[in-house]
Amino acid sequence: MVLKLIGACMTLGACGSMGLVWAGVHEKRPRQLTALEGALQLLETEITYGATPLPEAMEQVAGRCDPQAAGLFMMTAREFAKMGGVTAAEAWERALGRFFPATALDETDLNILIRFGASLGISDRQDQAKHLKLAMNQLKAAAGRAEAEARKNSNIFKYLGFLGGMLLVLILY
């Protein structure tokens, strides 16, 4: 009897925390998107006001932006440092390839970043500013949507976890 009760508690706890983790993942995405947007804002300052060359600008941004986005810029700067004749777009894409799997971002977010990377460093300041603005707006919109989704979904996942756990307990009891 006691054993059963302990088992039931454990099942409930496991399912409940699984729900919490799922909800957490959904809450992470909007925060990461906002972090990226902020980092691009820094990059914009570096490019339009400082006219800092990209390898240096990337390092600057990595050092100053939200830690959740810093990895991407750090990796891009490192790709540049290898200097096997890589262009900015290639360095960015390679860095994204390693950065993306560790994040809560989805395919649409990845596409925004890849499209932005294609225009990185190939034109004058005005044009760069336009591309940066576009990417920032897209990230902002994505973050807004992700936020709404997260608010809705995180609660669902939390309840789903607990309720699922309870259901399991009832069935097994």
Question: Under the rule (CB under 8 A), what is the footprint of another protein?
Answer: 47, 51-55, 57, 80, 83, 85, 87-88, 91, 120-125, 127-128
Half-sphere exposure of 90 (CA within 13 A, CB side): 9
State the greatest distance between any 2 C-alpha atoms of the chain, in Å, as a whole number.
75
Q: How far is the CB of 31 from another protein (least distance, A)?
A: 29
- Closer CB to another protein, residue 1 or residue 83? 83
As measured in angstroms, the least distance from the Cβ of 117 to another protein is: 11
Nearer to another protein, 119 or 153 (CB): 119
Handedness of CA 116, 42, 48, 129 (dihedral sign): positive
Cα 95 to Cα 78: distance, rounded to the nearest angstrom: 9
**Which tokens sit at 125?**
């300041």
Nearer to another protein, 57 or 104 (CB): 57
Angle between helices 107-118 and 2-48 (to 10 degrees): 20
Query: Are the C-beta atoms of 35 and 68 separated by less than 8 Å?
Result: yes
Closer residue to another protein (CB): 35 or 136:
136
Closest CB 123 distance from another protein, rounded Å? 6
The least CB distance from residue 44 to another protein, in Å, is 11
Token couple for 31: 């925060």
